[in-house]
């Protein structure tokens, strides 16, 4: 069992027989009353996302997931294809269940897929990935690192805020847990 206060983004638990993944979690102390945990959750099987609150002492059954090293092959139509690096077995996941993770995946990238029993339920991306800038405003002469920045569209479609000196074609290291620019590759 795990308490609501211990639930973090990326964790999976069981509630009313449903497999639920935490997308974000934060403490909230209203002006009056007790602290509550604000959560954005996704039903792993249906893909539905919703916001809710829990008391910090509420308990849930933690879902134990297995992971396997796989290679992301490609996504076509509504399906993403992965291949087991040892057995060469292929796995298919619906694109709508992993659309956030797909923003960090390039073809042939090695990742981990998560299993609950024999059911494939998700993708675990690395902590950082290297992506190239596909589109951004021209760099500004004399720009510093501390400027307000500008939006840049990466090769996967991910949009991140980058310093003003970054140009199209540069490879950047992106933090996948926050979706933020870290540094040039």
Co-location of 117 and 138 in the same domain: no
Write out pLDDT tens, residues 17-60: 888 888 888 888 877 778 888 888 888 877 778 888 888 888 88
Q: Please indicate, yes or no, whether residues 134 and 110 belong to a single structural domain of this protein.
A: no
Range of the domain at 156: 128-184
CATH code for the domain of 56: 2.30.30.30
Shared domain check, 51 and 30: yes
pTM for the full predicted model: 0.71
Q: Quick one: pLDDT at residue 142?
A: 61
CA distance 80 to 122: 11
| Mean pLDDT in residue range 64-74 | 88
On whether both 91 and 120 belong to a single domain, the answer is: yes
pLDDT of 90 above 70 = yes
* CATH number, residue 83: 2.40.50.140
Residues 12 and 58 in one domain: yes
Same domain, 172 and 146: yes
Query: DSSP character for 147?
Result: S
Within this chain, do residues 152 and 101 fall inside the same structural domain, yes or no?
A: no
* 50 and 20 housed in the same domain: yes
18-28 and 36-43 beta bridge pairing: antiparallel
Q: pLDDT, tens digit, for every residue of 101-145?
A: 888 888 889 998 888 888 888 888 888 888 888 888 886 666 555
As for how many domains the chain has, the answer is: 3
Query: Which 3 state secondary structure label does DSSP give 92?
Result: strand
Tokens found for residue 99: 């659309």
Domain end, chosen from 11, 44, 62, is at: 62
The whole-angstrom separation of Cα 63 and Cα 14 is 6
Do 85 and 118 fall within a single domain? yes
């Amino acid at each position: 069992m795990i308490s609501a206060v211990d639930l973090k983004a990326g964790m999976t638990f069981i509630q009313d027989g449903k497999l639920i993944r935490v997308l974000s979690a934060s403490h909230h102390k209203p002006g009056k009353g007790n602290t509550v945990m604000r959560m954005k959750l996704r039903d792993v099987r249906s893909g539905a996302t919703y916001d809710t609150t829990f008391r910090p002492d509420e308990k849930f059954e933690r879902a134990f997931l297995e992971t396997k090293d796989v290679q992301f092959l490609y996504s076509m139509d509504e399906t993403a294809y992965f291949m087991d690096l040892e057995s060469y077995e292929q796995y298919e996941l619906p694109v709508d269940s992993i659309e956030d993770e797909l923003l960090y995946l390039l073809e042939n990238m090695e990742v981990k897929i998560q299993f609950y029993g024999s059911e494939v339920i998700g993708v675990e991306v690395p902590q950082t990935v290297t992506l190239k800038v596909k589109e951004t405003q021209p760099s500004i002469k004399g720009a510093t690192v501390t400027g307000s920045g500008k939006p840049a569209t990466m090769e996967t479609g991910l949009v991140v805020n980058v310093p003003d000196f970054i140009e199209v074609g540069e490879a950047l290291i992106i933090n996948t847990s926050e979706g933020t620019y870290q540094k040039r590759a």
